[in-house]
């Protein structure tokens, strides 16, 4: 069981990795896409006592906006993960491309004949991505 403080820290850290200056999304872009006020979003990535964790409703809206990468990062803190439930939109070429990209990273990391703890940490995101792509094909 994690503490409320740890939960807040991890959620805000995950948001901060994807949103803000120099990140994949600006606060303004996220505000436009989610209808969450920019001031509220800015508070989620503020430091110290100014930081505010999103409500459950806003967390779901952000998860919908940021996608599986964000949701998986938040859930990984408690030993769980996320995956896309509707893979039908991916064309076969995209599935193969993503799998080969992940496989290439595994080949690069294992070129010395072993996967050390550093390799394993670096390969985690690739492994999760590959599992997410293949899992729907294993479903009955």
- pLDDT tens track, the chain, 140 positions: 999 999 999 999 999 999 999 899 999 999 999 999 999 999 999 988 899 999 999 999 999 999 988 999 999 999 898 876 665 555 677 788 889 999 999 999 999 999 999 999 999 989 988 988 888 787 77
Token pair recorded at residue 63: 């998860």
For the chain, how long is the longest CA-to-CA vector?
A: 51
Domain residues of the chain, as ranges?
A: 4-76, 87-138
> What radius of gyration do the chain's Cα atoms show?
17
Of the candidates 124, 95, 131, 98, the residue with the CA atom closest to the CA atom of residue 109: 124
- Whole-number Cα distances in Å, 70 to 61, 66, 112, 140: 11, 6, 32, 27
Instruction: Using a cut of 0.85, tell me whether the model's pTM lies above it.
Output: no
Residue where the block lists tokens 């995956």: 83
Residue where the block lists tokens 């999760």: 128
- Residue 81 backbone phi and psi in degrees, to 5: -150, 175
CA angle 64, 73, 28 (to 5 degrees): 50
């Amino acid at each position: 069981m994690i503490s409320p403080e740890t939960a807040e820290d991890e959620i805000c850290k995950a948001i901060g990795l994807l949103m803000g200056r120099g990140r994949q999304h600006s606060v303004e872009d996220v505000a436009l896409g989610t209808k969450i006020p920019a001031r509220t979003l800015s508070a989620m990535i503020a430091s110290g006592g100014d930081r505010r964790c999103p409500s459950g409703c806003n967390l779901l809206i952000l998860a919908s906006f940021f996608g599986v990468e964000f949701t998986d990062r938040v859930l990984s803190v408690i030993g769980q993960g996320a995956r896309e439930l509707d893979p039908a939109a991916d064309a076969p070429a995209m599935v193969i491309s993503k799998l080969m990209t992940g496989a290439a990273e595994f080949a690069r990391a294992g070129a010395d004949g072993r996967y050390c703890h550093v390799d394993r940490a670096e390969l985690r995101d690739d492994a999760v991505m590959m599992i997410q792509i293949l899992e729907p094909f294993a479903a009955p």
